[in-house]
């Protein structure tokens, strides 16, 4: 069930969102709306704090470390953009956790959320409520991402959105695929009925763990030679499973197919509709928008560093699926030492990026049976970063119109009913008063004094 952000009152054109994931990323959005249009844009650039909010379940100092950094930064961004014209106490402040927060026990999760709320309430100048500090379900994350893509695309209606991130894998689509369960969402001036499929077990994080454990199991030891890690990489000896890199994209994909993503055919369906015996939705033939995490994950810095070495990486903002596969092939063939000379990204992540790109490419091309011209991957659309963040803000300003109209009509009907009842009561009272008055008059007209008969008898 989606958090009921829409119940809050519209108070400002600025909105602060903190994406509480493996790090804490700050977004400041500015919204403009009237009865017929809604527009949202990112103010300035995103800003990242290295703190992980989920770690506050054992170290409460994490909360102060994160928000002592992010709150002043949000103030600075808004004051600069508005020329100090906006009262910060009216600006909604959202903190939303995703997979790492979902992984916590429910008691620990609520403890972190409550302590986060109390700290921000005391130390920051923004408008925060218990409702705006939350942990998104995998389904909510999918729906908000669908909203982001569609609201950013403005007049272009997007039928299907695929998401593939560290902690989630989902499809949100307008086509029912024969299922009965659906969600009705209202955003901006739109209202859609969509079907959402979430597969957290096939998130990047889960698939990497699956690959590592299955490889070690087949090897029968806690040391593996992996074609999915760059050549020259050697993990720490203290790691539960030690890995030596032997980068080779073709061999890596074969291993992924055999051990991690088992694509199968059932009941006459085309290959790709099932893998690991879990049904995948049949996607429509209309264009599919892959989200910002969908098959570049957190690779933006890597692509920028290597675009001269791998030409396909130069087009990060809207790389095609085939170009991404080519880039992954070339990247996996590079020695780790060559890559390290071009970027400051830690070598563990550089080595593992070969595996991540291979997994994501295989899921999109085979797990969903997609053709290259069906997939459009954007890191942003019309200046709006593609993820769940802008969608959360948009639904905050989008109460259900039908529900509101129904409430208005109910209010009108109740008011009319009350007026009619009052009229009836007043009419009854008046009628009773008139009747009583007439009866009193009648008694006065017909009344004869008994003493008059005495006078007659005397005569």
- pLDDT value, residue 454: 54
pLDDT band with cut points at 50, 70 and 90 for residue 19: very high
pLDDT band with cut points at 50, 70 and 90 for residue 232: very high
In percent, the amount of the chain with pLDDT more than 70 equals 79
Q: Do 128 and 204 sit in the same domain of this protein?
A: no
- State the CATH number of the domain containing residue 219: 3.30.420.150
Q: Do 127 and 260 sit in the same domain of this protein?
A: no
Signed CA dihedral, 149, 153, 155, 158: sign only: negative
Q: Is the pLDDT score of 356 beyond 60?
A: yes
- pLDDT value, residue 17: 97
Q: Do 368 and 269 sit in the same domain of this protein?
A: yes
Residue 423: inside a domain: no
Q: Is the pLDDT score of 6 beyond 60?
A: no
Residue 352: inside a domain: yes
Residue 181: C-alpha distances to residues 74, 187, 197, 266 (Å): 39, 20, 10, 23
When pLDDT is averaged across residues 429-447 and rounded to a whole number, the result is: 64
Q: Which of 63 and 178 is assigned the larger pLDDT?
A: 63
245-268 burial: b if 16+ Cβ within 10 Å, else e: bbbbbeebbebbeeebbebeeeee
pLDDT band with cut points at 50, 70 and 90 for residue 12: very low
Count of residues making up the chain = 459
Q: Is 240 helix (H, G, I), strand (E, B) or coil?
A: coil
- pLDDT value, residue 266: 47
Residue 429: inside a domain: no
Of 344, 366, 385, which one is at a domain's C-terminal end? Answer: 385
Q: Do 218 and 105 sit in the same domain of this protein?
A: no
CA distance linking residue 195 with residue 143, whole number of Å: 9
When pLDDT is averaged across residues 248-259 and rounded to a whole number, the result is: 85
- State the CATH number of the domain containing residue 66: 3.30.420.40
Number of domains in the chain: 2
Q: Do 227 and 333 sit in the same domain of this protein?
A: yes
Q: Do 224 and 311 sit in the same domain of this protein?
A: yes
In percent, the amount of the chain with pLDDT more than 90 equals 31
Q: Which of 450 and 161 is assigned the larger pLDDT?
A: 161
When pLDDT is averaged across residues 185-197 and rounded to a whole number, the result is: 84
Long-range contacts at 276-283 (CB < 8 A, ≥ 24 apart): 276/202, 278/199, 278/201, 278/202, 280/171, 280/197, 280/367, 280/368, 280/369, 281/171, 281/173, 281/177, 281/195, 281/197, 282/175, 282/177, 283/160, 283/171, 283/173, 283/175, 283/368, 283/369, 283/370, 283/374
Range in 328-332, 376-380, 428-432, 434-438 the model is least confident about: 434-438
- pLDDT value, residue 16: 97
Q: Is the pLDDT score of 325 beyond 70?
A: yes
Range in 40-44, 219-223, 227-231 the model is least confident about: 219-223
Q: Which of 33 and 122 is assigned the larger pLDDT?
A: 122
Range in 9-13, 62-66, 206-210, 383-387 the model is least confident about: 9-13
Q: Is the pLDDT score of 240 beyond 90?
A: no
CA distance linking residue 312 with residue 66, whole number of Å: 36
Quote the tokens at residue 68: 């002592």
Q: Is the pLDDT score of 76 beyond 60?
A: yes
Instruction: Provide the CA 94 distance to its chain's centre, in angstroms.
Output: 12
Mean pLDDT for all residues in the chain: 81
Q: Do 228 and 321 sit in the same domain of this protein?
A: yes
Quote the tokens at residue 134: 């939350």
- pLDDT value, residue 115: 97
Of 135, 162, 181, which one is at a domain's C-terminal end? Answer: 135
DSSP conformation letters of 270-319: PTTSEETTEE-----SS-EEE-TTTTTTT-HHHHHHHTTTSGGGG-GGG-
Q: Which residues are catalytic?
A: 141
- pLDDT value, residue 455: 52
Q: Do 220 and 348 sit in the same domain of this protein?
A: yes
When pLDDT is averaged across residues 225-246 and rounded to a whole number, the result is: 84
- pLDDT value, residue 318: 74
Residues 6+ apart with CB under 8 A from 318: 376, 377, 378
Residues 6+ apart with CB under 8 A from 64: 119, 123
Residue 311: inside a domain: yes
pLDDT band with cut points at 50, 70 and 90 for residue 216: confident
Q: Is the pLDDT score of 392 beyond 90?
A: yes
- pLDDT value, residue 421: 83
Provide the domain limits for residue 73: 11-135
Of 85, 108, 135, which one is at a domain's C-terminal end? Answer: 135
Phi, psi angles (nearest 5°) of residue 16:
-110, 130
Phi, psi angles (nearest 5°) of residue 397:
-100, 10
Range in 147-151, 225-229, 401-405 the model is least confident about: 401-405
């Amino acid at each position: 069930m989606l958090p009921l952000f829409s119940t809050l009152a519209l108070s400002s054109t600025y909105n602060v969102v903190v994406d509480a994931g493996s790090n804490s990323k700050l977004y400041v959005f500015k919204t403009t709306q009237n009865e017929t249009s809604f527009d949202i844009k990112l103010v300035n650039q995103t800003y990242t704090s290295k703190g992980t909010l989920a770690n506050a379940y054992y170290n409460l100092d994490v909360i102060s470390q994160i928000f002592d950094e992010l709150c002043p930064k949000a103030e600075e961004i808004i004051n600069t953009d508005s020329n100090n014209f906006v009262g910060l106490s009216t600006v909604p402040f959202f903190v939303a956790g995703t997979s790492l927060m979902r992984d916590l026990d429910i008691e620990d999760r609520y403890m972190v959320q409550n302590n986060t709320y109390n700290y921000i309430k005391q130390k920051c100048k923004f408008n925060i409520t218990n409702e705006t500090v939350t942990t998104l379900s995998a389904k909510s994350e999918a729906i908000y991402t669908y909203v982001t893509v569609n609201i950013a695309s403005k007049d272009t209606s997007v039928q299907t959105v695929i998401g593939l991130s560290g902690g989630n894998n989902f499809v949100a689509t307008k086509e029912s695929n024969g299922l009965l369960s659906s969600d009705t969402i209202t955003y901006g001036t739109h209202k859609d009925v969509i079907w959402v499929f979430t597969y957290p077990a096939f998130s990047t994080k889960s698939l990497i763990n699956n690959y590592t454990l299955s490889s070690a199991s087949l090897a029968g030891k806690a040391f593996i030679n992996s074609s999915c890690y760059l050549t020259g990489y050697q993990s720490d000896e203290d790691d539960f499973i030690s890995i030596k890199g032997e980068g080779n994209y073709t061999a890596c994909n074969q291993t992924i197919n055999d051990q991690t993503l088992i694509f199968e055919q059932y009941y006459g369906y085309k290959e790709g509709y099932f893998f690991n015996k879990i049904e995948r939705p049949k996607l429509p033939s209309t264009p599919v928008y892959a989200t910002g995490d969908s098959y570049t994950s957190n690779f933006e810095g890597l692509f920028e560093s290597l675009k001269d070495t791998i030409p396909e990486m130069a087009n990060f903002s809207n790389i095609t699926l085939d170009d991404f596969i080519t880039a992954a092939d070339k990247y996996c063939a590079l020695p780790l030492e060559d890559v390290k000379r071009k970027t400051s990204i830690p070598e563990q992540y550089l080595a593992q990026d070969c595996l991540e790109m291979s997994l994501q490419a295989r899921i999109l091309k085979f797990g969903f049976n997609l053709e290259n011209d069906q997939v459009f991957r954007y890191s942003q659309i019309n200046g709006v970063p593609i993820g769940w963040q802008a969608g959360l803000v948009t639904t905050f300003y989008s109460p259900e119109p039908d529900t509101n109209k129904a409430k208005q009509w109910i209010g009108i009907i109740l008011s009319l009913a009350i007026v009619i009842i009052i009229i009836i009561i007043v009419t009854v009272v008046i009628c009773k008063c008139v009747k009583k008055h007439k009866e009193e008059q009648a008694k006065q007209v017909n009344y004869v004094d008994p003493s008059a008969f005495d006078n007659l008898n005397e005569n």
